[in-house]
Structure 1
Amino acid sequence: MEDVLAGLWQTLTGDPLPAVGVGGDENVLPGPFRVAAAATSSIAAATLAAAELLKLRGIEPGVVGADTRHAAAAFRSEAHLRVDGEPGPNPWGPLSGDYRAADGWVKLHCNYRRHEAAVCWALGVPASRESVTKTVAAKTAAEVESAVVAAGGAAALMRSREEWLAHPQGEAVADLPVAELRRIGDAPKRLLYDSGRPLGGVRVLELTHVLAGPVTGRVLAAHGANVVHVGAAHLPRIPLLTMDTGQGKRSSFVALDTEGGRARLKKLISRADVLVQSFRPGALARIGFGPEQLAELRPGLVIADLSAYGWQGPWARRRGFDSLVQLSSGIAEEGARAAGAEGPVPLPAQALDHATGWLAAAAVMTAVRRTVTEGGTWQARLSLAGTGRWLDSLGRKESVPSEVDFSDLLEDVDSDYGRMTRVKMAGVLPGAPPRWDHASHLPGADTAMWHLP
């Protein structure tokens, strides 16, 4: 597993791997893909990046570590979440799921009402699973995917790995690194706020939605960042994921479709150190917040751009979610063959989302370190499809059913939602153990402004 981490660290930083302790049984998660290895390595990479920031502060970080069982729990954090002893609301919409088409399978993502409406409009059916099932069965999977995407919805047909590698978007992703970090502007060297935590005093503005982007902010908050998540009152949310990924953050509403809201966002960015965003590529640029405008507005900013299918290729602007990328890229098809199942079989966790989130946090902390040592404005770019390609490159393991006790990795805390049971923050950093200063706030509960560190 250390060789996986060494390759990842080299990609992220260009440096040899420091001393680190990683290990554990990969069969802590079932299936043929090395999800546990990816989880452990991405968590270790983020923790190592935090350790490098501690060194800049003159603090000895100690030996960084990541335990495979804890990593597996962290990658399924939403499944372990409880509020007052009860599981959170089901995140899946009633029409979401896998449907058999005339020549294969297609997944429809209908967790948001606008996406459900797009499916119904594209297929010409009412919002009932029976109607959707019948109509999809009479069409090819490609016809369904094309119609739903054209209508503004989110869908993916099940492709094999070979079909994905031959697809124009699969070819585009094959040329991309798992994480790209580049300097996009000049700025003087940053001075770190005096703190005993890696990101103490660092202001992070988070413009994200499920799931990779919020995981990024959650990791940064655990290492001491001042994180403000900005959403909008009128936009839909998935309560379970909002509760799970809001740890350590403040939550505000800003209406970016208004002139006043954009002015408020501009003010927030002008005093931010980091911006994490998961709008579709080009969406923020259309309202005046593209990378070039951001570099001019806030020299020295670190920008993390997360997308579904990557930043180049014909699908660069396509809506996508973890489950859809798994269908598109051959992961679900290979899972089906390994399990001897008729329909798609996903990974045992939303691993593309979680890994992308942890890797984005590692890239952000690496970029913050470079703003201190070199100066400059930096942009990190990651995608779920790129993370999927990296997972594919790790090889396979024996598919072993797994029953693991994670109870010792859970903790109870008071939150705005009630008594919350959550997975403890993963990653070992003796010099500044990661922690969240508070549990998740209700959406929009905080004023959209920066507080003193």
Structure 2
Amino acid sequence: MTDLLASMQAALGLPTTPIRFASDGALPSAFAVTELASASIAVAGQAIAELINQQTGRLPSLEVDRRLASFWFSTSLRPIGWSVPPMWDPVAGDYATADGWIRLHTNAPHHRRAAEKVLGACVDRADMASKVIRWNKTELEQAVVDAGGCAAEMRSWQAWQAHPQGRAVNAEPLVHFTENVEAHRSPWPGSMAQPLAGLKVLDLTRVLAGPVASRFLAGLGADVLRIDPPTWNEPGVVPEVTLGKRCARLNLHQPDDRAAFEALLKDADILLHGYRADALERLGYGAEQRHRIAPGLIDVSLNAYGWSGPWQNRRGFDSLVQMSSGIADAGMAWKQTDKPTPLPVQALDHGTGYLMAASAVVLLARRLENGRGGSAHLSLARTAKLLIEQAAGGQDALRPEDANDQGLLVEQTPWGPAHRLQVPMKLVGTPLQWTLPAANLGEHRAQW
């Protein structure tokens, strides 16, 4: 734990002090997934503790429950009498090619259409498998990407280190901070109990890292407004990640909606976005324009494969990065099986999400001190490097979940009542709690 925690603390500029961790056991994996979960939640909590200390002179004590952290890296929601829709499209997944393995990510309808444009229409997995087996993995990956889809061949860690994109992202810092020049003075509006109260967070992120970050910020009092395009949906994760937020829709190709977006951005304290590196630029909202609209903005962004190298603008998701970077390959050897073996949870997404939240809070503390906003860049592939280079995962299993792990409150969601698991982070005097239940996308107005 100490190596992972110290690496994250150093990347964020936080004191490299020990943090208390409770409970034993680990998720079964070739990698230290429970340690990643615990350490990333811990540094997000530590960033909040340091902010409180900066503003009040009191440093609250922090403890993270490793077992609950592991569970939250899967799902926190426990529906009562209903079930969350499946997370995966029926044909998404790993397929054998003529010379290895490839993963096709088809959850979004346009991504499935791109795969089928290359492979032909598929009625089910067996149909897809019969088409994929005729291809070489590298050629199919490139063909799907060229068609606007999402795919990743399975590579070893050694192959990824030699790949131009692997070399590029592995040379990047875990968190790349930059600071604005001009000052933007505003007092701390929060309190010990709600340190982020009064702060506006504009969330342009989707599955899954960014929404984890904004959910954490909402739990500490931030006013989080999530903006999605008119037709976007992700039914398998919305009940999990919209806790504490309001959710609206805007079409940034329409003048009225662009004006509404710019008004929101002008008043935002923190912007979270997870578009490909060139996407906001193409919409006319590149870094320079964002900076002009909202001087002093805290601008935190992630992408899949990093911010340099030939793939910096490539579409990607946690499961694809696991295939590209050697995680699924190492898992296959660890499990002694003949097929790709990913992490037991989407740990790159969740881990990067908490690092994003920590980055936003670190930048907020700096702004309160010197008046300057700033930005932070993170990526799933760089978080993967952090995990891969740590020692192997633990051997002892976690104690199974039981009824005592659930909070007492019943969350009244649009889909039905639910419990949440108890939160894994205990910060004395600063409870992590949410005032709004999970909501459907587009349920609210696009206004603060």
Same fold (TM over 0.5): yes
Q: Does 1:278 align with 2:277?
A: no
**1:220 corresponds to which of 217, 220, 235:** 217
Query: What is the CA–CA distance in structure 2 between the aligned matches of 1:204 and 1:169, rounded to whole Å?
Result: 31
Residue in 1 aligned with 2:311? Answer: 315
Of the structure 1 ranges 16-25 and 92-101, higher mean CA displacement relative to structure 2 is found in 16-25
Of the structure 1 ranges 400-409 and 215-224, higher mean CA displacement relative to structure 2 is found in 400-409
**1:341 corresponds to which of 320, 337, 349:** 337
**Which one-letter code corresponds to 1:69 in the other structure?**
R
Q: Does 1:41 align with 2:7?
A: no
Residue in 2 aligned with 1:373? Answer: 369
> Is the Cα contact below 8 Å between 1:95 and 1:128 reproduced in 2?
yes
Q: SS at 1:269's partner residue?
A: helix
Q: CA deviation at 1:28?
A: 2.5
Taking a change above 3 Å as real, the CA distance of residues 259 and 392 of structure 1, as seen in their structure-2 partners, is same
Query: What is the CA–CA distance in structure 2 between the aligned matches of 1:431 and 1:99, rounded to whole Å?
Result: 50
Q: CA deviation at 1:120?
A: 0.6
Q: CA deviation at 1:401?
A: 5.5
Q: CA deviation at 1:66?
A: 0.9
Q: CA deviation at 1:61?
A: 4.2
> Is the Cα contact below 8 Å between 1:338 and 1:399 reproduced in 2?
no
Q: CA deviation at 1:86?
A: 3.2
Q: CA deviation at 1:127?
A: 4.2
Query: What is the CA–CA distance in structure 2 between the aligned matches of 1:60 and 1:417, rounded to whole Å?
Result: 41
Query: What is the CA–CA distance in structure 1 between the aligned matches of 2:42 and 2:91, rounded to whole Å?
Result: 37
Q: CA deviation at 1:431?
A: 2.1
> Is the Cα contact below 8 Å between 2:190 and 2:197 reproduced in 1?
yes
Alignment of 1:430-449 (within 5 A): 430-449=428-447
**Which one-letter code corresponds to 1:321 in the other structure?**
F
Report how many aligned residue pairs link the two structures.
445
Residue in 2 aligned with 1:4? Answer: 4
Of the structure 1 ranges 177-186 and 38-47, higher mean CA displacement relative to structure 2 is found in 177-186
> Is the Cα contact below 8 Å between 1:356 and 1:384 reproduced in 2?
yes
Q: CA deviation at 1:233?
A: 2.6
**Which one-letter code corresponds to 2:7 in the other structure?**
G
Residue in 1 aligned with 2:129? Answer: 133
Query: What is the CA–CA distance in structure 2 between the aligned matches of 1:127 and 1:16, rounded to whole Å?
Result: 54
**1:205 corresponds to which of 202, 205, 226:** 202
Residue in 2 aligned with 1:55? Answer: 53
Residue in 1 aligned with 2:29? Answer: 31
Q: CA deviation at 1:135?
A: 1.3
Taking a change above 3 Å as real, the CA distance of residues 22 and 313 of structure 1, as seen in their structure-2 partners, is same
Query: What is the CA–CA distance in structure 2 between the aligned matches of 1:368 and 1:42, rounded to whole Å?
Result: 18
Q: CA deviation at 1:439?
A: 1.2
Taking a change above 3 Å as real, the CA distance of residues 83 and 325 of structure 1, as seen in their structure-2 partners, is same
* Cα RMSD for the two superposed structures: 1.6
Query: What is the CA–CA distance in structure 2 between the aligned matches of 1:227 and 1:59, rounded to whole Å?
Result: 27
Deviations 1:99-132 (A, max 9, x none): 0000101010111111111111011344433332
Query: What is the CA–CA distance in structure 2 between the aligned matches of 1:9 and 1:23, rounded to whole Å?
Result: 19
Taking a change above 3 Å as real, the CA distance of residues 247 and 73 of structure 1, as seen in their structure-2 partners, is same
Q: CA deviation at 1:5?
A: 1.4
**1:247 corresponds to which of 243, 246, 258:** 243
> Is the Cα contact below 8 Å between 1:29 and 1:72 reproduced in 2?
yes
Query: What is the CA–CA distance in structure 2 between the aligned matches of 1:141 and 1:147, rounded to whole Å?
Result: 10
Q: SS at 1:22's partner residue?
A: strand
Residue in 2 aligned with 1:16? Answer: 15
Residue in 2 aligned with 1:266? Answer: 262
Residue in 2 aligned with 1:177? Answer: 173
> Is the Cα contact below 8 Å between 1:116 and 1:127 reproduced in 2?
no
Q: CA deviation at 1:438?
A: 1.8
**Which one-letter code corresponds to 1:220 in the other structure?**
L
> Is the Cα contact below 8 Å between 1:66 and 1:428 reproduced in 2?
yes
Q: Does 1:229 align with 2:239?
A: no
Q: SS at 1:188's partner residue?
A: coil
Query: What is the CA–CA distance in structure 1 between the aligned matches of 2:322 and 2:37, rounded to whole Å?
Result: 16
> Is the Cα contact below 8 Å between 1:275 and 1:303 reproduced in 2?
yes
Q: CA deviation at 1:443?
A: 1.5
**2:360 corresponds to which of 357, 364, 381:** 364
**Which one-letter code corresponds to 1:11 in the other structure?**
A
Taking a change above 3 Å as real, the CA distance of residues 398 and 42 of structure 1, as seen in their structure-2 partners, is closer
Q: SS at 1:428's partner residue?
A: strand
Residue in 1 aligned with 2:320? Answer: 324
Query: What is the CA–CA distance in structure 1 between the aligned matches of 2:372 and 2:439, rounded to whole Å?
Result: 33
Query: What is the CA–CA distance in structure 2 between the aligned matches of 1:19 and 1:398, rounded to whole Å?
Result: 20
Query: What is the CA–CA distance in structure 2 between the aligned matches of 1:341 and 1:208, rounded to whole Å?
Result: 35
Q: SS at 2:425's partner residue?
A: coil
Q: CA deviation at 1:73?
A: 1.1
> Is the Cα contact below 8 Å between 1:28 and 1:403 reproduced in 2?
no
Of the structure 1 ranges 343-352 and 237-246, higher mean CA displacement relative to structure 2 is found in 237-246
Q: SS at 1:28's partner residue?
A: coil
Q: CA deviation at 1:265?
A: 0.6
Q: SS at 1:387's partner residue?
A: helix
> Is the Cα contact below 8 Å between 1:34 and 1:394 reproduced in 2?
yes
> Is the Cα contact below 8 Å between 1:59 and 1:431 reproduced in 2?
no
Q: CA deviation at 1:390?
A: 0.7
**Which one-letter code corresponds to 2:208 in the other structure?**
L
Show structure 1 runs of 5+ residues with no match: none
Query: What is the CA–CA distance in structure 2 between the aligned matches of 1:406 and 1:326, rounded to whole Å?
Result: 30
% identity of equivalent residues: 37
Query: What is the CA–CA distance in structure 2 between the aligned matches of 1:351 and 1:70, rounded to whole Å?
Result: 14
Residue in 2 aligned with 1:98? Answer: 94
Q: CA deviation at 1:194?
A: 4.6
Taking a change above 3 Å as real, the CA distance of residues 438 and 289 of structure 1, as seen in their structure-2 partners, is same
Show structure 2 runs of 5+ residues with no match: none
> Is the Cα contact below 8 Å between 1:232 and 1:254 reproduced in 2?
yes
Deviations 1:151-206 (A, max 9, x none): 00000011111111110111011111111121134223331115332211110000
Query: What is the CA–CA distance in structure 2 between the aligned matches of 1:16 and 1:82, rounded to whole Å?
Result: 36
